[in-house]
Structure 1
Amino acid sequence: MASRLVRRCTCLLREAARLAPAMSPVGQPRLTRGAPRTLTSSATSPSSHLPGSLSELVERGQVFTPYPERQEVDHLIERATQPEEILALLGGGHCLHQNRAALMVIQLSRLLSEKPKDKALLIKDARFQHLLRLVNSQINAVWHGTLVKLLRSLYALGLPATSKELQSVEQEVRWRMRRLRYKHLAFLAESSATYMQEQGSQELLAELLVHLERRWTEIDDGRTVVAMMVKIGHLSQSLMNRLEDKCLELVEQFGPEELRKVLVMLAAQNRRSVPLLRAVSYHLVQKPFTLTKSILLDLAYAYGKLGFHQTQVFQRLAADLLPHTPSLTSSEVARCTKSFAFLKWLSLPLFEAFAQHVLDRAQSIALPHLCNMLLAFARVNFRPEREDQFFSLVQSSAPPAPSPSLPLMLNPPRRSSSGLAGVRGWTSAKEPWAQR
């Protein structure tokens, strides 16, 4: 190879030197009869006849495969509303190149996404089996983006793990793993990780997680990092650490929904990442986000579950929650009260509103919710302004029980120096309904 390359370079240099204008030894231009010739890529140039000429190399470099023009069959695949319309294209004389066959499978998966019985019938259909064989025979030429969607569609359609076509697509994905863009890998992980675990494709899933971890610096948008943390972060500890670093880098781009997802994910996995929690708390305080009721409840739950104290965040949550109190359900009030109680943080206006909520819905509030609120009030040492009416409601709502300690527990609270004498009986109660 080296000798051939040297010979080609020698021929090209010799030709260039022969065609270049000659110079006199003393540096003076020498008069010639005609204009000097220059290197060209025309067919009449002597260099064009050389096997290794520049013109030939340029022509070879211009070879590429253009995208096929959209035809009628492409519109028929996109506009199909029934699986029969897709399957009918197989016998319609249409030109189904490698990408169109894969797109047909993807469209079938979309149409049957909520019809499990029809999926079982489709797998047994001879036309669908012919379509799978057609895709399998042309799998090498399927585009990258279509390939990952094809694999996800085959998982969603419920093909068995022993299916030859499914194994072929999985193997093709593994071969192309290094060439796939990060967004393709992220889409595959988000949409197919659960299917891979169910189908027993542990090797493919492990390889996918390794590539995601090695190429984590390619993430450039917040939506991708948040989705990966939620969907697959729990599958790999090392990948989760990388995603937290990237999340800390991109947190300035997050909106309230992304911040909510990050905090809830951390709470669900019990990951107390202090730098990330501080960054999220900073942006919640500094940016004028419009926080909806559901976001406020989730934020309170996350901070309570993680036990992360941030007074300024709690003040904003309490101030934003107060106008929503009339529209909250008893379950949401009990959940929010417990969250603040875990943090041992008391907002008098908010807790008074919660107590008033209980009194306004005395006939419909469930006993577990009432018990949770009572224990939460005891944890933060809160006594409602209308405490006599509140504790009378608690006493009347308690079910009869043969336990000898029940009369003591149901007595109205008495004022004491600690403020907890009247409700200590609830925290030490042995009845299941009082421990909730």
Structure 2
Amino acid sequence: MTRDAIPWTPDPAQLQQQQQQQQAYQGWYQQPYAPHVPYGGTGHFVPVPQGQGAPMSFSQQAHQMPHYGQQVPAQTAAASSGKVRPEFAGSVLERRAAERARKAASAEQAKKEAEASAAAAAAAAAVIPAAAAITTPAVVPGDDGVQDPVTGEISPRIKQVCNDAYNLNPVLRENILASDYFKALAEFTTFEELVDEIYNKVTYATPFIPNTRSPSSCFCLLYRLFQMRLTYKQLADLLEHPDSPMIPVVGILYVRYVVDPKEMWGFFKNKINDSTEFDASPGGKKKTIGQFTREVIEDIHYFDTILPRIPVAIQRDMQETIMKLEFREKSLKEKRSKIKVGMKVKALFYEDEEEYEAEILSETKDGGFLLVFTEYGNQQVTNVEDIEIIARNTESREKGEKSRDRSKDGRRGRSRSHSRGRDRDRDRDRDR
């Protein structure tokens, strides 16, 4: 007899357990419903034990619906007359709109708190110790400008485009504010006094004293100028000051750090070809103010610190203009080398802005030429770009050079012919 032919008799204990489970399930499905929202799902109902007005306990629901205990914390739903109202009223779209509104309100509140914190931090950073306070010139009411106490002329302040640290490196700024020298500058309350201090104290333009983390006098005074908010006239005086090259250098740094990039070129253009030399760093190689200006335009790295970035389009325009100026300067240098004393030229007479024939008398120290207009006898110091070399000067010079070349060739030719004649005479003497 095979195994399949043996009749199967269920185990009484297993049969009784199955019957009990069926009865329990039937009773469970006949119970009233209470609201249940699984985690991350939509609302549906779970049964409530018969004969009671409250839903099943969390343990009962977890026993019959294992996923419920894992997803939803225990909660109580009020039952009324055997019918329970869902806990979430309204459509899904309404609930989502309410959630978005809640998040937007939270974001707006966070933004307001951040702005309030930033304003408080800015106010705290702007507070200067009483010992370091600076007295600025009077501001004309209704106009952000400074009135000259002598002439009464009003010069507007330059708009500063910078952060609370004046675009300085945070470490450098903290060191400046903690510097004893910077605190002592409270005694200097006017622009003129600060310019005199630059003349007396500043000998190089690095941000730190060499081999230390102490700020240099150059940058301490520069920070004071930031706080004063210079006018256009004051910055122009700084850039064109003749007493020391370090005074214009400080002015160039002022422009590079806080002046609006759209206005930078107006201050830089007159310094590009400035050949005045100075010490950028102690013991370093001297450089001209023009080289220094080009470097701070083209590079953000400045010794041990970083300069603020210039917008790419503005920086590119300035670099192209610098290239044109360099080409023009090269052409003027070449023209200057061709102009000689006694040369006949055409020059611009500045009084009526007309060209007249003139004669070069001498060269001046600033690179111009003193000349006399031959027709009227007026003398004038004239810039190279306002002098035109007459063509006959170049033609006569070329003829002179050719004449000298021919004379040299002629002497060399006669010398060779004479040498060959003497050789022939010696040969005849030997034949005899």
TM-score w.r.t. the length of structure 2 is 0.29
Larger strand share, 1 or 2: 2
Which structure features the higher share of helix residues?
1
- Structure of larger gyration radius: 2
Q: Return the TM-score normalized by structure 1.
A: 0.29
